[in-house]
Structure 1
Amino acid sequence: MKVYYYNEDKWTESGDLWQALSLDARMKRLRAVRENAPYVISFTGAGGKTSLIRRLACEGRERGLKVLVVTTTHMFRPKQYGVLTRSKGDVRRMLQKESIAVVGKEAGELKITFVGTWFYEQICPLADLVLVEADGSRRLPLKVPGVNEPVVPKNSHMVLSVLGLSALDQPAEKLCFRAEQAEEIMRAHGRPDYKDGGQWIVRPGDVACLMQHAYLYPIRVRYPSIPVIPVFNQADEPAQVQTVRGLLDAMGEKRGIACGQLRFDPCVDLF
């Protein structure tokens, strides 16, 4: 995996998502206020949420932390580290043994869903880091959230909003979940000629437009006290990384991440 992160006008390359998110400093500040509180990160959007969660779970475990993974919507049933029993004791034992626990309720079609607010609040203190898949995308690189989405827990300390660059130069109707709603955003905020020739072919500025108006702005209104950071995934080539740099500058964002080559990451099949 390659990570490039932007912070206050400075770009840095890293192979470490942990460093890109300044998690050591953020967790230290949290523990100064609440000694045993876990740090909670919610992942929204499309185009690599689960892969990024796996990577960050790996990095957390490498640092000796206990990592809890949950979903407030749906995700695929884990191949390992899964706890589907709704037992706090089982979650504790998995964290003690493996340092990672993927907790959910069976939902059919090889998927799991949210365990419920009460149980979620019971198990969060068992972990040092909680990673929440808070949005569904049908494995497409672009998405506009539905009326009740994303489902971000109230105890979140950070939200990562992810969109995938594999949609670039492709028809939006094939690669965007809720394409009709995305077109509404484009008509209101995007380039006037987005449907030149009768078909919407996704351009870099379109991804930025959806990132801002479907995710960043609405989530920041709902959660004004926590960082909401744009993540452009599938930036597998240097030219795509440069594209993200230009987008973040044009968007006026002070923080942002470009990452790629996750499909080659050793953590890709973690759970």
Structure 2
Amino acid sequence: MDLLEALHIPNEGKMVISVVGAGGKTSCMEKLKEQLVAKGKRVIITTTTQMYLPTRHVVLNEDMNAIKSTLNRDGFVIVGTKANEEKMKGVSQACFLQLLLISDVLLVEADGSRRLPIKFPATFEPVIREQTNRVIVVTGIDSVGKKISEVCHRFELAKQILKVEEDHLLDEKDVAVLIYKGYLENRNMNQAHTVFLNKVDTKRQDQMADTVLKYIEEMEHTQSILLKKGRLMQS
């Protein structure tokens, strides 16, 4: 999949892309990075929450010389500070602004999901930098038909929104409501927003994805949100 084309990512100008939601944020950022670097773009990956520690191409401090060196050598670099033995957290505002100056594209993981396919964010989430141009909301279509308590991060909040119990099986409209109410209804209108339904593998899942996107369209009367479906990584 040409993700840059599918998501209408422009070829010119600086971009700050914040990836939120659940069910494929890391895959989305990896594919975007690969395709951007292939086009000669200088890409920096960072986070505003916490992400798992990478083993390569990473600078775990705000040493700009080390960051520039890795960026010049590899075309991309992952930048953060160590949170614990498993995860890294983000950088200071001052460092973030420096990263913006030396990169063409900043990819920011701006949400946590505990590796679940769908999420309803708390009031303090996601953590999106004001410099963001594009927000990509990722959700796994494999959440449809599953118990909300088993597949939804912060399911207690999601239960309240949907007015259901924890053994409720999510349907397509539920997924659309959680995406819209959680990430789109009160969005920053100065940032372009894209919804990407991930893990679409079968004809049935393709139909489910179409139904979810249709419900979102009905809730968003201005139709200003880019709606896409597919699979971010190969099975």
TM-score by length of structure 1 reads 0.80
User: Are residues 1:134 and 2:105 paired?
Assistant: no
Residue by residue over 1:202-240, the C-alpha shift from the partner in whole angstroms, topping out at 9 and shown as x without a partner, is 11211111001111112x2xx112211111111122321
**Aligned partners of 2:133 and 2:171: how far apart in 1?**
32
The AA in structure 1 aligned to 2:78 is V
Give how far 1:181 is off: 0.3
**Aligned partners of 2:195 and 2:75: how far apart in 1?**
28
User: Are residues 1:235 and 2:211 paired?
Assistant: no
SS in 1 for 2:230: strand
1 or 2 for the larger relative contact order (CA 8 Å, sep ≥6)?
Answer: 1
Q: Is the 8 A contact 1:77 1:111 kept in 2?
A: yes
| Aligned counterpart, 2:175 | 207
Q: Is the 8 A contact 1:236 1:261 kept in 2?
A: no
**Aligned partners of 1:96 and 1:168: how far apart in 2?**
43
**Aligned partners of 1:173 and 1:79: how far apart in 2?**
32
| Aligned counterpart, 2:42 | 66
The AA in structure 2 aligned to 1:69 is I
Give how far 1:142 is off: 1.2
Unpaired segments ≥5 residues, structure 2? none
| Aligned counterpart, 1:260 | 231
**Aligned partners of 2:124 and 2:215: how far apart in 1?**
29
SS in 2 for 1:246: helix
SS in 1 for 2:138: strand
Unpaired segments ≥5 residues, structure 1? 1-14, 32-37, 188-193, 265-271
TM-score by length of structure 2 reads 0.92
Give how far 1:244 is off: 1.6
Q: Is the 8 A contact 1:235 1:261 kept in 2?
A: no
Residue by residue over 1:55-114, the C-alpha shift from the partner in whole angstroms, topping out at 9 and shown as x without a partner, is 000000110111100000000111211111211111111110001100010011311001
SS in 1 for 2:20: strand
Alignment of 1:1-271 (within 5 A): 15-24=1-10, 27-28=11-12, 31=13, 38-187=14-163, 195=165, 199-218=167-186, 220=187, 223-252=188-217, 254=223, 255-260=226-231, 262-264=233-235
Q: 4+ runs of 1 displaced by more than 3 Å?
A: none
The AA in structure 2 aligned to 1:168 is V
